Amino acid sequence: MSETQTIRVPDIGDFKDVEIIEVLVKDGDQVNPEDALITIESDKASMDIPSPAAGTVQSVKVSAGDKINQGDVILLLQAADEAAAADKTAESNAEKKPAAPEKSEPPAKKSAATAAKPSQPPPESTPESTPEPATDSAQPPPPPATPGGAETVGSSQSHKAHASPSVRRFARELGVDLGLVRGSGRKGRITKDDVKAFTKAVMSGNRVFGNTGGFALPEIPAVDFSKYGPVEDQPLTRLRKLAGQHLQRCWLTVPQVTQFDEADITELEEFRKSKMSAAEKAGAKLTLVSFLLKAVVVALEQYPEFNSSLSSDGGSLIVKKYYHIGVAVNTDEGLMVPIIRDVDQKGLYELAQEIKDLSERARNKQIKSSELQGGCFTISSLGGIGGRFFTPIVNTPEVAILGVSKAYMQPVWQDGSFEPRLTLPFALSYDHRVIDGVAGVQFTQYLRTVLTDIRHILL
Ligand code: CAO
């Protein structure tokens, strides 16, 4: 039969009336010897009080915010059988020392820059006079904290992070750089839950570090919106989550510029209407998007750097000799970009059929992943809906994207009088690492010329 031990505050040196800033266990928890039970903090240092024995926490007698001294009861512990046998007499507060105090802002040379170098876990910050806590130095290197094996970005702020030794140890085990974690505890202290929440956010792709140029974004604080009124929690679809991650990556990694222009498509529209019934007989709905596909390819042939991708090391430009164009399709589950291959080799009706087929299958979740790969350039058309201009996000590793809005009639001064002309607003976003501003405007001007006189697609 195991015994109940009363776990008391051990000898904590000169510290008097020290505040408990975190209670790390609750009733029913299993603990091992040296597991931290509470974290206490004085003006100058914080320390964990470890468990002297293994067992089950029966009753925690303290709360965060309590002031304690040596000998005060922390909790009752139902000792594990072996531990009880080994130490029958102990009303144990143990002559054990608490874990080494850690200064609130230790000097950099002693910093616990957790996980900046996974192969060499750095030591805890410990004042020389205090015995070392159980060392972690024999542990294997922690796993990377970022998806895809990227190493956690080290932060010079790590050593300044306000966290107890046990939280530091926990963070180190997970490979989390405390300098990147926002503390929700008192005075910004980082708790174990903060480290867990940070790890979850990184693993779910909501925070990405590594290969982002070494910057870390300030975390957006969680808000309990229900405090302000009724809310409904609607889970995101898998597609929306994936698309969101991709868009965020594109937004953060590509320096983008958006160039706006308008094209007079009055004649194009006349031609399109004149071919509608013939297209219908061929089983196609001839919309503007087919013309946009052809016009874009003509412009890509004229300006090949727009039909390229940066090599993964950023050292060269891979110019493609094929013309596979993605068309953004709005679906109930989120945005999809199926690819129409070899647009240069296809006619308008064939393209119209393919747009219809791909968009229907995208909406019915019948698109194969191979149909989403290999694009050179993307067209995002909101023309069927409305709006005047928008700034599309470059679909990396492509280097440019065309965003098309709804055509509208406007009076244009021509040969001494105003004429009603159908005008198409469009925007081109491009990767400024690859494309200069002059090339950007040359491309949009050329596209405008082609759309205004669609016979250019025959040249
Ligand atoms: N100006 C005016 N009218 C336009 C137009 C434009 N730029 N583009 C299309 N239209 C018209 C079409 O001619 C059609 O008219 P009718 O019904 O009278 O024939 C109507 O708008 C609806 O067209 P549609 O949307 O069915 O077909 P589409 O070929 O123009 O577009 C597709 C296909 C897949 C691009 C579109 O359905 C779609 O999903 N668009 C949304 C894309 C999106 O969400 N982009 C935002 C991404 S964020 O960057």
Please give the Cα distance from 145 to 151 (Å, whole number). Answer: 7
| pLDDT at residue 214, as a whole number | 53
The Å distance, Cα 353 to ligand 1 centre, comes to 14
Nearest CA to ligand 1 atom 38: 329
Query: What's the per-residue H, E or C state across the chain?
Result: CCCEEEEECCCCCCCCCEEEEEECCCCCCEECCCCEEEEEECCCEEEEEECCCCEEEEEECCCCCCEECCCCEEEEEEECHHHHHHCCCCCCCCCCCCCCCEECCCCHHHCCCCCCCCCCCCCCCCCCCCCCCCCCCCCCCCCCCCHHHCCCCCCCCHHHCCECHHHHHHHHHHCCCHHHCCCCCHHHCECHHHHHHHHHHHHCCCCCCCCCCCCCCCCCCCCCHHHCCCCCCCCCCHHHHHHHHHHHHHHHHCCEEEEEEEEECHHHHHHHHHHHHHHHHCCCCCCHHHHHHHHHHHHHHHCHHHHEEECCCCCCEEECCCCCEEECEEECCEEECCEECCHHHCCHHHHHHHHHHHHHHHHCCCCCHHHHCCCCEEEEECCCCCCCCCCCCCCCCCCEEEEECCCEEEEEEECCEEEEEEEEEEEEEEECCCCCHHHHHHHHHHHHHHHHCHHHHHC
CA angle 309, 311, 317 (to 5 degrees): 55
Nearest CA to ligand 1 atom 21: 384
Burial 78-92 (b: 16+ CB within 10 A, else e): bbbeebbeeeeebeb
Q: Is the CB of 326 under 6 A from ligand 1?
A: no
| pLDDT at residue 286, as a whole number | 96
CB 9 within 8 A of CB 74: yes
> What is the Cα gyration radius of the chain?
32
Closest residue by Cα to residue 376 from 318, 279, 435, 308: 308
| pLDDT at residue 232, as a whole number | 97
> What is the per-residue pLDDT across 355-410, written as a single tens digit (0 to 9) for each?
999 999 999 999 999 999 999 999 999 999 999 999 999 999 999 999 999 999 99
> What is the per-residue pLDDT across 139-188, written as a single tens digit (0 to 9) for each?
333 222 222 322 233 344 555 677 887 888 888 888 888 888 878 877 77
Closest residue by Cα to residue 50 from 67, 63, 33: 33
Amino acid letter, residue 15 = F
**Ligand 1 atom closest to the CA of 287, numbered from 1:** 13
432 is a catalytic site residue: yes
How would you write the pLDDT of the chain (459 residues) with one tens digit per residue?
578 999 999 988 777 888 898 888 999 999 999 888 998 887 767 788 989 999 999 999 999 889 999 999 999 999 887 544 444 434 444 444 455 554 443 333 333 322 233 223 333 332 223 233 332 333 333 222 222 322 233 344 555 677 887 888 888 888 888 888 878 877 778 888 888 888 887 776 555 554 444 556 777 889 999 999 999 999 999 999 999 999 999 999 999 999 999 999 999 999 999 999 999 998 899 999 999 999 999 999 999 999 999 998 889 999 999 999 999 999 999 999 999 999 999 999 999 999 999 999 999 999 999 999 999 999 999 999 999 999 999 999 999 999 999 999 999 999 999 999 999 999 999 999 999 999 999 999 999 999 999 988 887
| pLDDT at residue 125, as a whole number | 31
Rounding to the nearest 10 degrees, give the CA dihedral for residues 440, 443, 444, 447: -170
Q: Which two tokens stand for residue 310?
A: 């940066």
Nearest CA to ligand 1 atom 23: 384
Q: Is the CB of 330 under 6 A from ligand 1?
A: yes
Identify the active-site residue in 162, 324, 432, 456. Answer: 432
* Residue 201: exposure state from Cβ atoms within 10 A (0-12, 13-18, ≥19): middle
Q: Is the CB of 378 under 6 A from ligand 1?
A: no
Q: What is the pTM of this model?
A: 0.62
